[in-house]
Amino acid sequence: MKHGFFDSVTGNKSSSRLIGFIVIIASLIFVQEILWFGREDIIQAAISGGTIFLTIAAPAMAFLFAQKKNEIKTEEKSSQKQ
């Protein structure tokens, strides 16, 4: 069975993966803006960009990791019942 990037383990569309992707892309855009407008003091801009990326994207990535583990557990339990 072919699975896409935004599909769950069972092949269903996953809105949580789509939302996580959108959050990570939005945080990358924020970092780009910080680096662009802070180019006079690039060290401070890099620190600020890294901080905002970790603040916004890290919880989204942690949620996606936990969601994937739960999907795998659920798939294993359903395959054992059959």
User: 5 Cβ partners below 8 Å, 6+ apart?
Assistant: 17
2 lies in a domain?
no
Q: What is the pTM of this model?
A: 0.75
Residue 62's domain spans which residues? 15-71
Per-residue pLDDT tens over the stretch 29-62: 999 999 999 999 999 999 999 999 999 999 999 9
Per-residue pLDDT tens over the stretch 58-67: 999 999 899 8
| Strand partners for 13 | 7
26 lies in a domain?
yes
How many domains in the chain?
Answer: 1
Angle at 65 between CA 59 and CA 70, to 5 degrees: 125
